[in-house]
């Protein structure tokens, strides 16, 4: 078998970070990363289960790569990540093509499982762990720009949002040793990175106890900002029930903590939020937004919204729209509710909103957000922002692209500047997705 490994990553940023851990583990055993699937002896799909269509995509992808295996029977195909964890050995029963199935906490076993598959046996490990954080593993970076990277600070989730499969496929929440986080961040800075995004399903509940001292997320953030003032620090995801004024003050207190909070509301109706088991009400969410606005006045805000959750009425839906309008989100990820087997919602409630209504409501949510995003960008025209350059813009080599602290993309004539540099840009106009401006000295 060729020792080249090819990996495709689906789903959230967590999976992106995990794929880098997976490649690191395999490289230590002599595997070489390839960008060309036709060269690979080992093909891995790092999968997502969050909605049914996420899993559908993977099944179609498996069909599409079937011919590679027909051509060369030695190729090993591995399904790893959240869908592997959810379906376990059913993956092997459903698709004869797959040789190995590995859940998110079993990546250290990958070399062994590959060897087993090489000797002709299907191999599987989907054990979840209470401790695994891959803290000692230095991820092999696979980002394109070399400026911005993800750093995983915790794994799993202890919340039980009724619709969500994550606690089942990622296991219990556990935080990673802050020293290993700092070491990874320093390594990134030393190799030219200028931005890190600290990742967890609920970063506000980060907790590390050492010598009877508790390090909270706020404490961790402060430690990471100290690595270097030229390093920007982002984080995701914050949970509305846990985001504290204390944390907001920390964010406000450091120039290199980015002024952007992703605070998924999911719904604007307190009744639906209760059914969702989100543990906050509309009023609580609004109070948190008011706190953000008063403690960090220049902060941008984004959300996730779900349309058509069980029993959602037109009135509940209107409450979601009015909350969005009131909050004036700068950006949003928006989804149709998709029932996931085994979750509380699947066990206890009926998925009773017809698909046409889910789609209609989703479209209303999307068109409102388009309007809000446009208002948010127009608001920036005429102002100057500090931008971290990420590289040439997609359209033209003469233009560079970067982001503001508020996470908005800015495109401007490069004037010889390079990625990784900070420059001030005056915003002249905006399109639907970007701010366009020129460098000011
Ligand atoms: N931990 C994060 C989000 C994890 S999943 C949080 O709590 O916010 C990312 C987003 O997918 C969620 O915020 C939610 O909006 C969406 N999502 C999760 N399960 C879903 C489901 N069953 N159907 C539709 N959207 C879902
Ligand atoms: Fe899922 Fe809720 Fe955990 Fe987010 S906080 S991962 S939505 S259970
Ligand atoms: Fe992420 Fe999808 Fe898993 S959203 S945690 S990759 S189920």
pLDDT at residue 143 is higher than 90: no
Instruction: Please write the tens of the pLDDT for every residue from 95-136.
Output: 889 999 999 999 999 999 999 999 999 999 999 999 999 999
Say yes or no: CB of residue 86 within 6 Å of ligand 3.
no
Q: 148-376 belongs to which CATH class?
A: alpha beta
**How far away, in angstroms, is 19 Cα from ligand 1 center?**
21
pTM value > 0.85:
yes
- What is the rounded distance in angstroms from the CA atom of residue 67 to the CA atom of residue 75? 11
pLDDT at residue 1 is higher than 90: no
Say yes or no: CB of residue 338 within 6 Å of ligand 1.
yes
According to the model, what pLDDT value does residue 441 have?
A: 84
Say yes or no: CB of residue 50 within 6 Å of ligand 3.
yes
Give me the phi and psi of 207, to 5 degrees please: -155, 125
- What is the rounded distance in angstroms from the CA atom of residue 232 to the CA atom of residue 252? 13
Say yes or no: CB of residue 50 within 6 Å of ligand 1.
yes
Contact criterion met (CB below 8 Å) for 283 and 235: no
Could you give the percent of the chain with pLDDT greater than 90?
Answer: 96
CA 244 to chain centre: 21
According to the CATH classification, is domain 384-440 in 3.40.190.10?
A: no
Q: Where are the domains of the chain?
A: 4-125, 148-376, 384-440
Q: Which string of DSSP letters, residue by residue, matches 236-282?
A: E---TTT--HHHHHHHHH-TTB-SEEE---B-S-HHHHHHTT-S--H
Q: 4-125 belongs to which CATH class?
A: alpha beta
**In this structure, which residue's CA is closest to atom 14 in ligand 1?**
304
- What is the rounded distance in angstroms from the CA atom of residue 62 to the CA atom of residue 98? 8
- What is the rounded distance in angstroms from the CA atom of residue 201 to the CA atom of residue 214? 20
Please name the residues in contact with 295: beta carbons below 8 A apart, sequence gap of 6 or more: 245, 248, 249, 251, 252
**How far away, in angstroms, is 160 Cα from ligand 2 center?**
7
Omega of the bond leading into 237 within 30 degrees of 0 (cis): yes
**In this structure, which residue's CA is closest to atom 2 in ligand 3?**
48
Report which bound ligand comes closest to the CA of 345.
Answer: 1
């Amino acid at each position: 078998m060729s020792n080249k490994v090819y990996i495709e990553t689906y789903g959230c940023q967590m999976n992106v970070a995990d794929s880098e851990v997976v490649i690191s583990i395999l490289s230590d055993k002599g595997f070489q990363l390839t960008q060309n699937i036709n060269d690979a002896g080992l093909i891995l799909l790092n999968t997502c289960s969050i909605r049914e269509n996420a899993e559908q995509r993977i099944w179609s992808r498996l069909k599409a790569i079937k011919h590679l295996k027909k051509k060369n029977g030695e190729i090993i195909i591995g399904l790893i990540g959240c869908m592997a964890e959810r379906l376990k050995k059913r993956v092997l029963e459903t698709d004869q093509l797959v040789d190995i199935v590995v859940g998110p906490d079993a990546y250290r076993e990958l070399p062994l499982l590959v060897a087993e598959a090489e000797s002709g046996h299907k191999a599987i490990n989907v054990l979840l762990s209470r401790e695994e954080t891959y803290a000692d593993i230095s991820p092999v970076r696979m980002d394109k720009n070399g400026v911005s990277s993800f750093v995983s600070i915790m794994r799993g989730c202890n919340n039980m949002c009724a619709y969500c499969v994550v606690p089942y496929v990622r296991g219990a929440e556990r935080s990673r040793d802050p020293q290993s986080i700092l070491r990874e961040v320093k390594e990134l800075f030393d190799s030219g990175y200028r931005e890190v995004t600290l990742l967890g399903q609920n970063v506000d509940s980060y907790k590390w106890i050492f010598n009877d001292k508790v390090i909270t997320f706020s404490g961790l953030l402060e430690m990471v900002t100290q690595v270097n003032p030229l390093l920007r620090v982002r984080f995701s995801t914050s949970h509305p029930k846990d985001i504290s004024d204390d944390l907001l003050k920390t964010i406000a207190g450091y120039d290199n903590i980015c002024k952007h909070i992703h605070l998924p509301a999911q719904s604007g109706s307190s009744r639906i939020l209760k059914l969702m088991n989100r543990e906050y009400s509309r009023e609580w969410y609004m109070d948190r937004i008011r706190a953000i606005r008063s403690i960090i006045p220049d902060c941008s805000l984004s959300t996730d919204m779900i349309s058509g959750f069980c029993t959602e009425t037109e009135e509940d839906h209107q409450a979601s729209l009015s909350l969005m309008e009131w909050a004036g989100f700068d950006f949003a990820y928006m989804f149709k509710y998709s029932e996931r087997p085994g979750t509380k919602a699947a066990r206890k409630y009926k998925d009773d909103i017809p698909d046409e209504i889910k789609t209609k409501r989703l479209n209303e949510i999307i068109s409102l957000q388009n309007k809000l995003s446009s208002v948010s960008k127009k608001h920036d025209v005429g102002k100057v922002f500090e931008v971290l350059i990420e590289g040439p813009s997609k359209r033209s080599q003469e233009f560079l692209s970067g982001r503001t602290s508020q996470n908005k993309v800015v495109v401007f004539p490069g004037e010889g500047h390079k990625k990784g540099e900070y420059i001030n840009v005056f915003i002249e106009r905006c399109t639907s997705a970007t701010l366009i401006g020129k460098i000011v000295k």
